[in-house]
Structure 1
Amino acid sequence: MRKIYEPENMMEGELLQAMLASEGIESHITGRHLLGAIGELPVSGLLGLAVEDGRAEQARQLITEYNGAFLLAGDEPDSYPDVLLC
């Protein structure tokens, strides 16, 4: 397995992991058990998203496209501007 991305937090890591799974790419979040040691360990660089070597390029491309996506006009409700309801 190869580390392809460093999520900012566990929520982002799990969201990207689910997105990759929907595309048939199995992934693993490394460092999730180190989060409880913040204060003793450096705050950044603890989490990583890893995939099989043969799927790394495809996974990187999907994450790049995901991070570059913009909201489409009309995706946010009028009663809650700048808030996307899921």
Structure 2
Amino acid sequence: MQRIYEPENLMEAELLLGMLASEGVKACLQGRDLIGGTGELPAMGLLGLAVDNEQARYARELIDAYNGASPMADDELDSFPDVLDC
């Protein structure tokens, strides 16, 4: 297994795990249990996404595409009529 990415927080990590899984890449999240130690442990580098060596390149490409994506022009709240805008 290779550690391919360090997410900024647990929410980003879970989002990326789901995205990778939807593309057929089995990933594991390293450091999930260390989050509770923030304040006593260094804040950076606790979380890491790891994948099998054979899928590392593809997983990096997917994450790079995710990080480089920008919102769609038509992706505004008006296009989601059942969502409350608080």
Specify the alignment match of 1:60 in structure 2: 60
Equivalents in 1 of 2:72, 2:36: separation in Å?
Answer: 37
Matches for 1:1-86 after TM superposition, within 5 Å: 1-78=1-78
Give the Å deviation of 1:76. 1.2
TM value normalised by structure 2: 0.88
Give the CA RMSD over aligned residues: 1.6
1:40-80 Cα offsets, whole Å, 9 max, x none, are 100010000000000000000000001101111110124xx
What fraction of aligned residue pairs are identical, expressed as a percent? 58
Counterpart amino acid of 2:23? E
User: Where does the alignment leave 5 or more consecutive residues of structure 2 unmatched?
Assistant: 79-84
User: Where does the alignment leave 5 or more consecutive residues of structure 1 unmatched?
Assistant: 79-84
Aligned residues: 80
**Which structure shows the bigger proportion of residues in helix conformation?**
2
Counterpart amino acid of 1:27? A
TM value normalised by structure 1: 0.88
After the TM superposition, list the runs of 4 or more consecutive aligned residues in structure 1 that deviate by more than 6 angstroms.
Answer: none
Equivalents in 2 of 1:28, 1:45: separation in Å?
Answer: 15
